[in-house]
Amino acid sequence: MVKSLIPALALFLAALPCGAIGIKSKEVPPDASDREIIQMAQKAFNNNNYRLATRYYNELLQRYGDNPVDLVIGNYEIAHIAIRKKDYKTAVPLLNDVLAM
């Protein structure tokens, strides 16, 4: 199953623009798409605001976690943030979940 998700994940990530999407509030609009939430999280991550990025990725998982691509992206990115913070107790189980998918 993981091999079948990799091309979809790569295509999804490649399609995301690198710039900001114009949302200035730290709150996620109720009608925000998964792509918009990911962009908000990436912007926060790029600004070294790991707490906000994690909050956005958790919101992604809450709203779109039934989508396998969003589930992989959310868990992977939260694990990536945990690694940046040297929080391996959080990162390892998340990465194992991603691998299991």
pLDDT given for residue 8 in this prediction: 53
In angstroms, how far is CA 68 from the centroid of its own chain?
12
pLDDT given for residue 40 in this prediction: 96
The number of beta carbons lying within 10 Å of the beta carbon of residue 91 is 19
Contact (CB, 8 A) for 62 and 41 = no
Residue numbers in the chain where pLDDT is lower than 70: 1-25
Contact (CB, 8 A) for 73 and 79 = no
pLDDT given for residue 1 in this prediction: 55
Q: What is the pTM of this model?
A: 0.74
pLDDT given for residue 16 in this prediction: 47
Q: In the 8-state DSSP scheme, what is residue 5? A: H
